[in-house]
A and B are shown apart, each in its own frame.
Chain A
Amino acid sequence: MYAARAIRYEVRGRAILDGVDLRLTPGKIVAVVGPNGAGKSTLLKIMAGERRATGGNVLLDDRDLTEWKPADLARRRAVLPQSIEVVFPFLVSEVVALGSSQRVPRSEAAALVSRALSAVDLADFGRRVYGTLSGGEQQRVQFARVLVQAWSGEGAYLLLDEPNASLDLSHQLLILRLARTHAESGGGVLMVLHDLNLAAMVADELIALKDGCRIAAGPPEHVITDQLIAALYGVHASVRGVPDGPFILPQTARLPA
């Protein structure tokens, strides 16, 4: 169990998050959606243990997150931040290998690295210098690093901050499929997503954040409604449905006058 309860986060007296609950369970994908500045990334950072909430707490395996040692935490959760600059000319394979813990023998770690690079469609990129890759390729390298970390851990949770922000359509789908595979193999996943349609497609549970508050939560078909889209983004659009779930067509949207 990996749960945040009544999370509050203040910066200079201003609440970025206010009383947010979030629960991750093995086998499930939770997607957080909401407009820019809603506090999505901050929530993910608090879940990761990178920032400490000013109110509420995060429990992992019944222990407060602040009591975890970094090395132990790394075996239970892997984090994909939005974008990563790497100083010094590290090779792609070296960056991905940073995901493996020191407990994993070197030969095994090398096998995990090449498996992860193949999984993100970068099988031949191991010997390239990370800094020379395009933004989308770098993002997939980081995702491969996260996969290696999850695979060398124990039933690890994935925390993904806009994992497909700079990817083309096929690779967006690839990353979502990998997240789904991870969930099906018994891991829990939290992802921050911008694209409501992708979120509706991939998530078991959606959490809608606005101004640091959770304004809706539940299965996508219940959460994604005309009213929610109006409330979140101030955009009037019609939600339609297909057998797999709800979707919105931006073409039907009207911006507020």
Chain B
Amino acid sequence: MSATITIAAMQPLPVRRGGLVIAAAAVFLVAALLASLAIGPVYIAPGRVVGTLIDALAGARPSEGTGMRDAVVVLDIRLPRTVLAMLVGGGLAVAGAVLQGVFRNPLADPGLVGVSPGAALAAVLWIIFGSAAAGYLPGSVAAFGLPLAAFAGGLVTTVLLYRIATREGRTSVAMLLFAGIALGAMAAAGTGLAVFVASDQQLREFTFWTLGSLGGASWQKIAAAAPFILLLIVGSRWLARGLDALALGEAEAFHVGVNTELLKRVAIVLVAAGVGASVAVSGVIGFIGLVVPHLLRLSAGPSHARLLVGCALLGGALLIASDIVARTIVSPAELPLGVVTAILGTPYFLYLVQRNRAVLGG
């Protein structure tokens, strides 16, 4: 207990300009969107990107010359990928913030604590066995089969994690991380086994599921994943006060009128939905859910009403930026996206672990 107080005491004095931080995140998101549409094997100046977008919104699409080429590159190739990056990044950051609120710990990242690997395993199993089952399911369920399966996988992992790491409303940091690592490793092993046993046509390569990629982005994928991710981003809005109160402790949150059991259940379902859908379309991408909430807590404060909005914006911006790096730095090849986010995130993770030394018993 005293250890946690020490950590809090080490926080620098706050310069809280919440509104400004949110505005900055929004500007960063717009800049990243434009950059992502402009940058690639063919560079298209931002002015022309904007022009192409405006034309497309007006329903006009040039059928010849550079205008046509711009339209193909911007609208058909880069836009789906960029929109998917925005959704997945925003979703993962919000999922991280919500998980951290529920577990009352800043180290809970969906990738680190096994939620994403669990979702990936379920997604892989669906691809192998689900297509057979899909024939017996109603069409609407079959269309969302992959994200639904990943959602179920994420849900099972999160519930298991909660059961293991929490006793009488208190979550042990060490148990959370150890159980998360174990669950994640188990799920990744299962995924590896499934991928190598299955025929190549059924699955993309193992690295997609372990390190993620937005390479296969399409409007169909966006349509399949967006409802789940938006459910998390929009739905978490109503968890804000409860998560704030939970920072005082489980009993204390109940004292001020929060139905803590309901709050935790809804939070876990929303996180599983958002993370599951993200994993289904882009594989396991780590550290976004760790870095983004923490940066925002430092700059805008920990109050969840603001934090969650900031996460949606900054998470989207950061994953778009990471994807630009992933697809250009070794061009014409592509780096797995998770490699870029890990380069970004692991030093941060070490820094957080170091600051939590007392709690972790180091």
Contacts and interface: CB of A to CB of B under 8 A. Distances in A.
B251 A71 contact: no
B255 interface: yes
Contact of A91 (B4, B16, B245, B254): B16
A132 B9 contact: yes
Interface stretch (A96-104, A178-186, A195-203): A96-104
A72 B11 CA distance: 35
Interface-central residue, A70, A91, A127, by most chain B CB under 10 Å: A70
Given A89-B11, A89-B302, A131 B5 contact: yes
- What is the size category of the interface that chain B forms with chain A? 20 to 34
A88 B245 CA distance: 11
Determine which residue in B14, B106, B248 has the highest number of CB atoms from chain A within 10 A of its CB, and name it.
B248
Contact of B256 (A99, A131, A132): A99
B301 interface: yes
Given A70-B254, A101-B257, A94 B244 contact: yes
A98 B254 contact: no
Interface in A88-132: 88-91, 94-95, 98-99, 101-102, 127, 129-132
A172 interface: no
Kindly name the residue among B245, B254, B260 whose own CB sees the greatest number of chain A CB atoms within 10 A: B254
B12 to A, nearest CB: 9
Contacts of A79: 252, 255
A120 B319 CA distance: 46
22 contacts: A74-B255, A78-B256, A79-B252, A81-B255, A84-B248, A84-B252, A85-B1, A85-B4, A85-B5, A87-B106, A88-B297, A89-B14, A89-B301, A94-B244, A98-B244, A98-B248, A98-B256, A99-B256, A127-B14, A131-B11, A132-B9, A132-B11
Given A85-B5, A87-B4, A129-B8, 12 more contacts: A50-B254, A74-B255, A79-B252, A83-B1, A85-B249, A87-B105, A88-B106, A89-B301, A90-B302, A94-B303, A98-B256, A127-B14
Interface of B: 1, 4-5, 7-9, 11, 13-14, 16, 104-106, 241, 244-245, 247-249, 251-252, 254-260, 297, 301-303
